[in-house]
């Protein structure tokens, strides 16, 4: 099943279901398919919303974590949402953290999974290797514990990105901005209920990153998922949704 992407007023987004807004923020190489199981599970109880981040459309000087936060703020204002539950994976978690810091009164709760913001292992000094499909395939597989999740579709998508000069420039600008915008000094100001779900086999934001977030965020709970890499909602969706379900019932 595919989800309809709505385009209006300069925004692209998916919106399914009714109820409290559960806003999902994807990562630098995130696709709608990353959140398929969350949408299907929670659209019965929540309005599940995914703003498609303009990773390759913003002027280069705005292609930063802060630029994406501004975009999300404009999107939420345009849609007129009240308090939202914001969930971010990878770069999306970094955006969720800054969005929450700047809009605490508009955030009911926050969910982070494999989030950057404290530490992340980058693609490596040799990235990007244009034209080397096998290299890109290996880099895609690093995201997961079980490499079967690095589908040909995902590898092809990443391969197309690294062979598009405009996209590569923006990927690198975003990555540099994320590294510069370290939140270690700020996250303890976030007091909203926070759920941390981490893959025990995440090599990009390893388990110690989840533990550090848990230490720094005063109102947080942390769960680890075994046999799971950087995208728990894709690799272990049933366990991920079980923890998220429990958390959403607790905060109501």
Residue ranges and CATH numbers for the domains of the chain are 6-120+182-250 (3.40.50.1820)
Cβ atoms within 10 Å, residue 97: 28
Residue with tokens 């599970």: 41
In this predicted structure, what is the pLDDT of residue 76?
A: 98
Measured distance CA(179)–CA(119) in Å, rounded: 8
In this predicted structure, what is the pLDDT of residue 126?
A: 43
Query: Which structure tokens are listed for 108?
Result: 């009911």
Entry pTM = 0.94
Block means of pLDDT (10 residues each) for the chain, 252 residues, are 88 96 91 89 98 93 96 98 96 97 98 92 51 86 93 90 90 90 95 98 95 97 97 97 98 92
User: Across 27-156, where does the E strand assignment appear?
Assistant: 46-51, 84-89, 107-113
Q: Answer whether the bond into residue 151 is a cis peptide, omega within 30°.
A: no
50: Cα separation from own chain's centroid: 10
The helix/strand count (H/E) of the chain reads as: 9, 8
Residue with tokens 């700047």: 102
In this predicted structure, what is the pLDDT of residue 149?
A: 92
Alpha helices in 13-117 (DSSP H): 36-42, 65-79, 91-102
Measured distance CA(249)–CA(178) in Å, rounded: 32
Compute the CA torsion angle 170, 172, 175, 179 (nearest 10 deg).
-130
In this predicted structure, what is the pLDDT of residue 129?
A: 58
């Amino acid at each position: 099943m595919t989800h309809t992407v709505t385009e209006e007023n300069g925004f692209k987004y998916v919106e399914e279901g009714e109820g409290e807004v559960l806003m999902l923020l994807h990562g630098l190489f995130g696709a709608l398919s990353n959140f398929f199981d969350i949408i299907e599970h929670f659209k019965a109880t929540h309005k599940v919303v995914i703003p498609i981040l303009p990773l390759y459309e913003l002027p280069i000087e705005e292609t930063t974590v802060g630029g994406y936060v501004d975009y999300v703020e404009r999107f939420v204002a345009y849609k007129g949402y009240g308090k939202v539950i914001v969930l971010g994976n990878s770069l999306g978690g970094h955006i969720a953290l800054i969005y929450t810091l700047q809009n605490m009164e508009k955030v009911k709760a926050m969910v982070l999974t494999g989030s950057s913001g404290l530490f992340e292992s980058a693609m490596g000094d040799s990235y990007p290797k244009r034209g080397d499909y096998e290299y890109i395939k290996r880099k895609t597989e690093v995201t997961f514990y079980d490499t079967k999740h690095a589908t040909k579709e995902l590898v092809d998508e990443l391969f197309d990105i690294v062979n598009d000069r405009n996209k590569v420039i923006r990927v690198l600008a975003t990555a540099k901005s994320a590294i510069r915008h370290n939140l270690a000094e700020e996250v303890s100001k976030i007091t909203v209920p926070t759920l941390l779900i981490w893959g025990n086999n995440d090599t990009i934001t390893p388990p110690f990153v989840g533990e550090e977030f848990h230490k720094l965020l005063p109102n947080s709970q942390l769960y680890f998922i075994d046999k799971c890499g950087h995208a728990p909602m894709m690799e272990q969706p049933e366990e991920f949704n079980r923890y998220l379900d429990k958390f959403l019932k607790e905060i109501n």
